[in-house]
Structure 1
Amino acid sequence: MVTSRGEDLGQTACIMFFALQLDRGNITQALSDNMLVDLGMVTNDYNNGMTVFYCAFLLAELPSQLISKRLGPDIWIPIQMVSWSIVAASQAALSGKTSWYICRALLGLIEGGFIPDTILYLSYFYKNAELPKRLSWFWTSYQSTQIVGAFLAYGILHLRGHGPLKAGWRYLFLIEGIITFLIGIFTWLYLPASPTQTARQGFKGLLRPKNGWFTEREETIMVTRVLRDDPNKATMHNRQGLSFKLLWEALTDYDMWPIYILGLSWTIPTTPPQAYITLTCKALGFSTFETNLLTIPAYVLFILQLLFWTWASEKMNQRLLVGLLAQIWALPLLIALVALPPHFNNSNWAKWTLSTLLVGYPYAHAIIVAMTSRNAGSVRTRTVGSSLYNMAVQASNVFASQVYRTDDKPYYYKGNKALLGVVAWNIIAFIVAKAYYVHKNNKRDRVWNSMTREE
């Protein structure tokens, strides 16, 4: 019973991640329907809008975590979801660069913090060793949205020329925003405050049983197993905010800094190809509808690699090595994109294959997020650490959003050469971070093993 209800919560988190990516990722499908042309924009304007989004997302990460820590994630997460769904749907009324930048900024501010908020919430229910597997499924649902979104776009974009909105991408934003709004209402009615607060309380919790999910004995078992795995989770309750002193102590935990440094760059080599995959397909001569269907193999490969490498990382007890593998995977593919001449025979399919393989790379984000939570050591550091790592990743997205420029299209040779330089840095950074944590663990083990049983 305890396990099944916990997995129900995990499935709900998957739906929440689905909703996040539905409104965050549908921009790639909108681009395939000539959104930039309709709005009188070029790819540099698109880059600037994405930069605004990631900057706003980054700035909102830590404040969102602090609000969530005070209100409780069961309250704050549904507020976020309903709020961003309204902004996402309003993109149907975009009229040019200014409205594009405003909507991107609002989306970033509201969505920022959602991922670390959710991870902190789930850490109340799962042991440390159980979290990576769950997170791999959450990011699977996150990327499955791209597959579902491609099929949705294939149908919705056929509405171009019909009804009051005319453009198919306008209907796409409106319909998918409404879907997220409904999911946000569902989470507000369903999410419990904690493992011991699952009973229905007034209208909130309408989708939970009146007497809660667990018996008193089951609650004891569930809480005990989590606290025995990580006693630090008992140091703060789920409605307790962080004081400035506790925040500063978390920020100055330098043992977490190598993870933050990795977050600044490790996803950059694959981010521009992913953001531009539909524009690349259009530039290669594929139609709007062919383009959306041709993105699906990349996301299928991504999901398969995500699940396999998350499983393998726990099996081998190696995490940073998966991030290193992602750089080794990207290296020959970027070299090929730089070396492949524009008019090479069958180059359209060759370039599509290379782009697909880049987007479907070994994704270590779920592994490193779980590693951040695992290494934090206390609830306050886990709260701040998850935010800082995600802020670092959003900062990397800011850098990545400016790599492909209008004067470099459609094959972005200069941009791909820059990405090769980032790959070289990342390989060094992962090796140094691995060596640092091996050294720290060996030092800790020597101190521990030198103690007597009484000590």
Structure 2
Amino acid sequence: MPIAKIGGHKASTKSEVFDGSSHEFSSNEISSNEKKNANEVVTLRSVDSTSSEESLLSKNPFLDPKVEEYYREVYQAAHYESYKAFDPTFTWTPEEETKLVRKLNYRVALTACLLFVSLQVDRGNLAQAVTDNMLPELGLNTNDYNTGNTIFLIAFLLAEVPSQLISKKLGPDIFIPIQICLWSIIAASQAALQGKASFYATRALIGLLEGGFIADLVLWLSYFFTSRELSTRLSWFWVTLSLVGIFTSLLAFGILRLGGKGGLEGWRWLFLIEGLFTLILGVLSFYLMVPSAVQTKSKLHPKGWFTEREEKIVVNRVLRDDPSKGTMHNRQALSIKMIFKSIMDYDLWPVYAIGIYAYIGQSTFGSYFGLLNKQLGFSTFTTQVLNIPTNIVHIVLLLFITWLSEFVKERSLVCILAPLYSTPFIAIIRWWPGSGKEKWPSYVLNTLFSGQPYIHAICVSWVSRNSNSVRTRSISSAVYNMFVQLGNIAANNIYRKDDLPLYHRGNTQLFIITVTLIPLLFLTKGYYIWRNNSRDKIWNAMTPEEREDYIKNTTDEGNKRLDFRFDH
């Protein structure tokens, strides 16, 4: 049966310390109104039950009256928007919860995936446009193309944190629709590109407007789903990415045939039509998104999404999974100090480092896949269709590796499967004499390497779990994504004009980077094991009284607490 402990109650078993559903809250992280609680820390731990009769109420950390009293004060002080639905004694049936989760999948998760479509269409269609002679018609070469992609990624990276600041203040339900509408207008305007300057300018503007979108959407999802459910929904994002790749490849196959109509080249029609399509999604998103589970009634939704009972189920199931989710309201901005502390949290740096390395090969091939196929002798239109198998491979391997990670409750070793899979393919691509010359074998190799297992969803969830504080968890996904963009910047500068047509130097670099990821993942696991063992020694050496005093009076925050253990 789950156990809630507060103040002087000591941890009774080692399994309580390591439990993945452990939650921590430090009162000095909430607001200046709670200074009276500055030295009080509530630690909640739950222990898996083997009883087949375990009820939903038995999983309720608020069963401890002291915990309930503490968090009730915290939620009131934070002006938590869903406080009116908070009810520690409220119960519901598993059938009700199953039915509600289906509704959440439809109302929230499906909406998030649909909005993700708008992001991927407008940031991914450049790779399709260049297969239609866009570069020579604008007087650009391969290096200019790389520079444009680099400008986009730098702008995307720089916008991550500012976007989080704005979104947390306005609310994702307001800021995300604004983002989509603005970048869609810029994306459609690419139909009027005239040369290098306009190409670079639109790349920068789209990057600035799209930066932070994913972290904003993750924040919105967290209002409705538990931590375990969130990991699965994040994997749906990246499945959406591949499905969009299939859809846009087929769409581009038709749109590029419009070349010459109205005096416009095919790639100009591509930017115009797809930009207008995502603008429609942006306008629609004002209707599709709501501020929270208890704020679904409006002029656009006169009946709301949920009944009063369903609202209480949504709110209480999320709070019982993670009580810290009610310690900030959904229109509360993050401070610069909070962001700085999160960036300086060195215990998350190993996963950030993985974010830099893990996707470079995939990103490089993603930008050049169409051009590589054209160099093999495929036509512009065949090239679009040949993108589809890559996305299918990507979907299958993504779902498998994400499921496997959750099933075996392992991060590092499961992630190692990605470089173990891709290393042989990039080695053959680099050193096989027929690579880049033998048409169909080369295409198959490129497809299998491009579709390698994508561990992004695992890492985003990993960062969140190892944050263990309101402050860090709120922005750690954005910080992690900044490091991912650093890797993407490197990826878009590996293939250079002087390395044409086989990119031997670039593929050698990709091989080294892919191999390097293997020891990096082992080192990451070793680091977290070492950190956990070090804390075990200190914690086990403490007397029960010392543990009680530490839990009650420590100033350690988040994952720096001695009673927190890192996931690996």
Q: Is the 8 A contact 1:88 1:174 kept in 2?
A: yes
| 3-state SS in 2 of match to 1:26 | helix
Change (3 A) 1:73 1:350: same
Match of 1:35 in 2: 134
2:411 to 315, 319, 323: 319
| 3-state SS in 2 of match to 1:404 | coil
| 3-state SS in 2 of match to 1:276 | helix
Match of 1:66 in 2: 165
| 3-state SS in 2 of match to 1:197 | coil
User: TM-score of the superposition, structure 2-length normalised?
Assistant: 0.76
RMSD: 1.8
Query: Cα distance, 1:425 vs. partner?
Result: 2.2
Query: Cα distance, 1:36 vs. partner?
Result: 0.7
1:287 to 379, 386, 393: 379
Q: Map 1:22-421 onto structure 2 (within 5 A).
A: 22-165=121-264, 167-200=265-298, 202=299, 206=300, 208=301, 210-341=302-433, 347-421=438-512
Query: Cα distance, 1:19 vs. partner?
Result: 1.1
Mapped partners of 2:492, 2:435: distance in 1: 27
| 3-state SS in 1 of match to 2:262 | coil
Query: Cα distance, 1:339 vs. partner?
Result: 1.0
Change (3 A) 1:348 1:124: same
Query: Cα distance, 1:380 vs. partner?
Result: 2.0
| 3-state SS in 1 of match to 2:290 | coil
Change (3 A) 1:221 1:97: same
Query: Cα distance, 1:375 vs. partner?
Result: 2.1
Question: What is the identity, as a one-letter code, of the residue corresponding to 1:149?
Answer: T
1:124-147 CA-to-partner distances (Å, cap 9, x unmatched) read 111111111111111111221110
| 3-state SS in 2 of match to 1:193 | coil
| 3-state SS in 1 of match to 2:357 | coil
Mapped partners of 1:435, 1:23: distance in 2: 40
Q: Which has the larger radius of gyration?
A: 2
Query: Cα distance, 1:384 vs. partner?
Result: 2.2
Query: Cα distance, 1:443 vs. partner?
Result: 4.7
Q: Is the 8 A contact 1:195 1:223 kept in 2?
A: yes
Mapped partners of 1:316, 1:48: distance in 2: 42
Query: Cα distance, 1:216 vs. partner?
Result: 2.4
1:281-315 CA-to-partner distances (Å, cap 9, x unmatched) read 00010000111111110111001111111111100
Mapped partners of 1:393, 1:409: distance in 2: 26
Change (3 A) 1:51 1:136: same
Count, aligned residues: 447
Question: What is the identity, as a one-letter code, of the residue corresponding to 2:225?
Answer: Y
Q: Is the 8 A contact 2:177 2:285 kept in 1?
A: yes
Question: What is the identity, as a one-letter code, of the residue corresponding to 2:282?
Answer: G
Larger mean CA deviation between 263-272 and 56-65 belongs to 263-272
Larger mean CA deviation between 210-219 and 24-33 belongs to 210-219
Q: Is the 8 A contact 2:398 2:455 kept in 1?
A: yes
| 3-state SS in 1 of match to 2:498 | helix
Query: Cα distance, 1:98 vs. partner?
Result: 0.8
Mapped partners of 2:414, 2:100: distance in 1: 32
| 3-state SS in 1 of match to 2:194 | coil
Question: What is the identity, as a one-letter code, of the residue corresponding to 1:396?
Answer: G
5+ long unaligned stretches in structure 1: none
1:15 to 114, 120, 134: 114
Query: Cα distance, 1:434 vs. partner?
Result: 1.3
Change (3 A) 1:130 1:441: farther
1:372-396 CA-to-partner distances (Å, cap 9, x unmatched) read 2222222321222111100000111
Match of 2:100 in 1: 2
Mapped partners of 2:233, 2:515: distance in 1: 31
Question: What is the identity, as a one-letter code, of the residue corresponding to 1:414?
Answer: R
1:302-347 CA-to-partner distances (Å, cap 9, x unmatched) read 0111111111110011123333221112211111111122588x71
Mapped partners of 1:126, 1:446: distance in 2: 35
Query: Cα distance, 1:182 vs. partner?
Result: 0.6
Question: What is the identity, as a one-letter code, of the residue corresponding to 1:364?
Answer: I
Match of 2:44 in 1: none
Mapped partners of 1:444, 1:148: distance in 2: 50
Question: What is the identity, as a one-letter code, of the residue corresponding to 1:409?
Answer: L
Change (3 A) 1:223 1:451: farther
Q: Is the 8 A contact 2:212 2:478 kept in 1?
A: yes
Query: Cα distance, 1:446 vs. partner?
Result: 6.3
User: TM-score of the superposition, structure 1-length normalised?
Assistant: 0.94
Mapped partners of 1:116, 1:58: distance in 2: 12
Q: Is the 8 A contact 1:263 1:390 kept in 2?
A: yes
Q: Is the 8 A contact 1:326 1:362 kept in 2?
A: yes
Mapped partners of 2:537, 2:110: distance in 1: 41
1:160-180 CA-to-partner distances (Å, cap 9, x unmatched) read 122232x10100010000110
